[in-house]
Amino acid sequence: MARWEPGARERLVVAAVDLFTEQGYDATTVTQIAERAGVTKSTFFRHFPDKRELLVAGQETLSRLLAEGIAEAPAEASPLEAVAAGLVRAAGMMGPESREFAPRLKAAVAASTELQERDALKSVSLAAAMKTALVARGVPDPIAALAGELGVLAFKRGYADWAEADRDDPNDFAGYTLAALDELRAASASLG
């Protein structure tokens, strides 16, 4: 078993999601995940404290990119325009491999209550990162919180639409998230 081969973290995530999909989250062990990824069990624990954390691999990076995009938006940008800038910045980390991986991840999460709970916590964390970045721009707290929540909804909806779209569709992930944000903006305006 190759101990120092690069890409161990990514291979562990793919192996785990595949095993969760094939045999269920509860039936999958850390040892099986490590073996499927071609690493040792100790390598697994260098990257993740437990198998639940595999689902949120990259969350810190995603939160950081969202916040950076918001911080770098033009000073005159509205809160939702700043969120759009964050979504575009974060979309850069989502390549073709993420698109191919999405249906398996969705199936694994749908089949496990524990993974659904972890996914919900991930959403809360992403919304908090956007809210914090907006507050740092001087956006009042309630508006920043709402804009952050809309950003998470746009990200999740855009991700789902992007993953399910025809692979020949020329639109990138950013286009899907921005379209979802525009739909949410229009929907919220109709609330009265």
- What's the pLDDT score for residue 3? 47
SS3 helix, strand, coil % of the chain, rounded to 5? Answer: 75, 0, 25
- What's the pLDDT score for residue 112? 86
Distance from C-alpha of 147 to C-alpha of 78, rounded to nearest angstrom: 10
Ordered per-residue pLDDT tens for the chain, 192 residues: 444 556 888 899 889 988 988 998 889 999 999 999 999 999 999 999 988 888 777 788 899 999 999 999 999 999 999 999 999 999 988 877 778 778 888 888 888 898 889 889 889 999 999 999 999 999 999 999 999 999 999 999 999 999 888 776 667 889 999 999 999 999 988 887
- What's the pLDDT score for residue 77? 97
- What's the pLDDT score for residue 6? 66
Query: Which helix (H) or strand (E) is 8 found in, with range?
Result: helix 8-23
- What's the pLDDT score for residue 103? 84
- What's the pLDDT score for residue 182? 96
User: ∠ CA(45), CA(46), CA(50), 5° rounding?
Assistant: 30
- What's the pLDDT score for residue 189? 87
- pTM (2 d.p.): 0.83
Please name which of 4, 33, 167, 170 lies closest in space to residue 98, comparing C-alpha atoms.
167
- What's the pLDDT score for residue 55? 75
| DSSP assignment of 117-135 | HHHHHHHHHHHHHHHHHHH
Delineate the domains of the chain, giving CATH numbers in brackets. 8-54 (1.10.10.60), 58-189 (1.10.357.10)
Q: How far apart are the first and last CA of the chain?
A: 61
